[in-house]
Structure 1
Amino acid sequence: MNIKIIGVGKLKEKYLKLGIAEYSKRLQRFCKFEIVEVSDEKAPEKLSDAEMNEVKIREGKRILDHIKEREYVYTLEILGKERTSEELAKEIANLTTYGHSDITFVIGGSLGLSKEVIKRADAHISFGKFTLPHQLMRLVLTEQIYRANMINAGSTYHK
Structure 2
Amino acid sequence: MLSVRLICVGKLGERFWADACAEYRKRLGAYCKLEVAELSEQRLPQSPSEGELAAALEREAAAIEAQLLPGAKVIALCVEGKTLSSEAFSAYLSQLTVSGVSRLCVLIGGSCGLAPRIKQRADLRLSMSPMTFPHHLARVMALEQLYRALNIAAGGKYHK
Shorter-chain TM-score category? over 0.9
Partner of 2:126: 125
Instruction: Report the alpha carbon displacement of residue 99 of structure 1 after superposing the two structures with TM.
Output: 1.1
Matched, 1:47 2:67: no
Equivalenced residue count is 159
Structure 2, unpaired ranges of 5+: none
Partner of 2:61: 60
Q: Structure 1 length as normaliser, TM-score?
A: 0.97
Look up the SS of the partner of 1:65 in the other structure: helix
Structure 1, unpaired ranges of 5+: none
Residues 108-156 of structure 1: per-residue CA shift (max 9 Å, x gap): 0111111221122111000111111111100000000000011011112
Partner of 1:142: 143
Q: Which runs of 4 or more aligned residues in structure 1 lie more than 2 Å from their structure 2 counterparts after TM superposition? A: none
Partner of 1:154: 155
Residues 12-59 of structure 1: per-residue CA shift (max 9 Å, x gap): 111110011011001111110111011111112200111111110111
Structural RMSD (CA): 0.9
Q: Structure 2 length as normaliser, TM-score?
A: 0.96
**Matching residue's letter, 1:83:** L
Look up the SS of the partner of 2:43 in the other structure: coil
Q: Distance in 1 between matches of 2:14 and 2:140?
A: 11
Q: Distance in 2 between matches of 1:4 and 1:68?
A: 8
Residues 50-106 of structure 1: per-residue CA shift (max 9 Å, x gap): 111111011111001111340100000111000000000011111011011101110
The sequence identity of aligned pairs, in percent, is 37
